[in-house]
Chain A
Amino acid sequence: MELAKRIQPTMTRQEQEQRDRKAASNRQLTALLGKIAIYVVTTTLAIIFIAPWAWMVSASFQPIGDIFDWPPSWIPENFTLNNYTRFFEEANIGRLVLNSTLVAGSVVIAQLFLNSLAAYTFAKRRFPGRNLLFVIMLGALMIPGQVNLIPAYLILQHVPLAGGNDILGNGGHGWLDSYAGLIVPSLSSIYGIFLLRQYMKSIPDDLIDAAKIDGAGHFRIYWQIVLPLCGPALAAMSIFTFTYHWNDFFWPLILITSESLRTLQLGLALFVVRNRTVWDIVMAGSVIATLPILVIFLLFQRYFIRGISLTGMRG
């Protein structure tokens, strides 16, 4: 504004003040309009994003006739829990939830220990071959799952003395169609090790050296000093791992043939394939399959987000 005054000296003081005020209110108006635009765009996008999902929840409480209404009714007119009770009756839901929880839970517990111990070793100990080994393992993340898939299937089929196999691993189905087959290949994960290692790198070495001088061995340092400091990273890893295995569909699809061993996602997918038109029950099942993950997400959101950015930023 100083500049404007000098350029136009003929302007009276009153005119100048008016001009300034106008400019200021213009700026405010632009800022306000910008703000409104941001809210409008963000809200519209958010509605579009949540709409299909909201519809699933809404439809799960509607009788089948109402689901087929055009225009779609977003608020259930004839609210019913019937879809849920019928899904419970037809899909042996308890067993599905139990299987999913058991598989995802065991994997998380195993990975909490194995991943963090490996991460500590890679982050804080020096030993020949460390960097080479770590780089090879990270590089292996690039290998598409389809390459490992078939041999992994054959390995599980030929586990000796399991599932009717002889000592050479022939004759039976091995670990196919078993909990072990779903769990054992995922007892550790390179991705999880990487995430924890990145976090442990930020713990000062002085802390570890001090513990060494006090006579603590590596396992004690890991267990009593480093692990308690890794709470957020361990939480993030656990949530990722649980979500991944809870949501996993492909591996159970290939491995599991017995009805009693189906996971929730597999049970739901096969239910859809078998009963293509019972949308009311399918929607109730979908809500049940999503609910545990949603609750975990809402409770531990900040760990989720932190965990993602922790691995995301390092590339």
Chain B
Amino acid sequence: MAATAQPVPAYQRPPEGGIRRTLYLMRKEWTAYVSITPVVLLFIVFTVFTVAFSFYLSFHKWNILEPDRPFVGLENYARLFGDERFIRAIGNTIYFTVFAVPLTMAAGLLVALLLNNKIRLRGLYRTLFYIPNITPLVVSAIIWKWVYQGDYGLLNYYLIQLGLIERPLLWLADPNLAMPAVIIMSIWGGAGYQMVIYLAGLQAIPEDFYDAAKVDGANGFQRLIYITIPLLNPTSIFLFITSVIGSFQIFTQIYIMTSGGPLGRTSTIGYYIYEKAFRHFDMGYAAAMGYALFAMIFVFTIFQLRFLRREFEY
């Protein structure tokens, strides 16, 4: 504060009530607004404006290469329902989400439970499980493309050695195996993150709970089912919601490993939007798809927050 600032006389109190008080506080704290201005400006330009403009685009036939961009009303949205590739992309995205999210969480929880024991080299184990998570997705996708190779891939070799399959499988070229392959790769890449969050959650559970249960004669498995998992519920909800939102947008793995193939079996919404917007430059239609995705995520999140929170409150 500058030394020349006048001391506020005692009788000059902040005005009572409503707008005048708000204005007074705004004037008094004006530097607060200055310090968030850059952040708010970026937010307005790259979030608020883009969301609004995307909405506008979705009602227009907007191709970046054509100067004429007529208003078409709900045509883009109507087109969605008749677009087989879009409907299949939704199906593929849901397929991916339904398997990848719970399995990644289960893997993360399993590893966290293992590492929550007093074992040697815990730090080393934790690092090993976390490394796939920091590996750039481009690199992960390249590695797994090799792992899945039909003739000389690692996975086929070890599955044959274990006697699980007889002939090499063409993982990424087989329409029925391509999506499972992408899912396995995503579990590998994501479990480390879930593990760290679950470990933090596990360490927050008071030891007393377990001692009490031991006195009551609960065995290890019962302690897991009746204490650990319910008490981890807030962590699980957080992980579930963020993972589902993330998996609705899956792109890089698809781009590098399968390019949406074979036969469109791995074309997800994220990938299809990219194709429409930046290969065909059909931006109005792509914006409508973006909004459809947004609507799905929105409904899902609201549903989860209402349903899960209430269900497991204790």
Contacts and interface: CB of A to CB of B under 8 A. Distances in A.
A binds B: yes
Interface of A: 35, 38-39, 41-42, 45-46, 49-53, 55-56, 59, 68-72, 114-115, 117-118, 120-122, 125-128, 130, 133, 137, 140, 142-155, 185, 187-188, 190, 193, 215-219, 222, 243, 246-247, 249-250, 253-254, 265, 268-269, 272, 279, 282-283, 286, 289-290, 293-294, 297-298, 301, 304-305, 308-309, 312-313, 315
B221 to A, nearest CB: 12
A39 B143 CA distance: 27
B70 interface: no
A142 B301 contact: yes
Contacts of B46: 148, 152, 155, 185
A294 B188 CA distance: 17
B154 A52 contact: yes
Nearest to A313: B200
Contacts of A290: 135-136, 139
A188 B42 contact: yes
B51 interface: yes
A138 to B, nearest CB: 11
B39 interface: yes
A272 B294 CA distance: 32
B142 A313 contact: no
Contact of A49 (B38, B132, B204): B132
Contacts of B49: 151, 155
Contact of A268 (B128, B138, B283): B138
Interface of B: 1, 22, 25-26, 29, 31-33, 35-36, 38-40, 42-43, 45-51, 53-54, 57, 64, 110-111, 114-115, 117, 119, 123, 125-132, 134-139, 142-144, 146-147, 152, 154, 157, 161, 188, 191-193, 196-197, 199-201, 204, 234-235, 237-239, 245, 248-249, 251-252, 255-256, 269-270, 273-274, 277-278, 283, 286-287, 289-291, 293-294, 297-298, 301
30 contacts: A45-B111, A46-B125, A50-B128, A51-B154, A56-B142, A70-B152, A70-B157, A122-B36, A125-B32, A130-B32, A142-B297, A142-B298, A146-B273, A147-B50, A150-B57, A150-B277, A152-B50, A155-B45, A185-B42, A188-B42, A218-B31, A249-B252, A254-B278, A268-B138, A269-B255, A283-B146, A293-B135, A294-B135, A305-B196, A309-B200
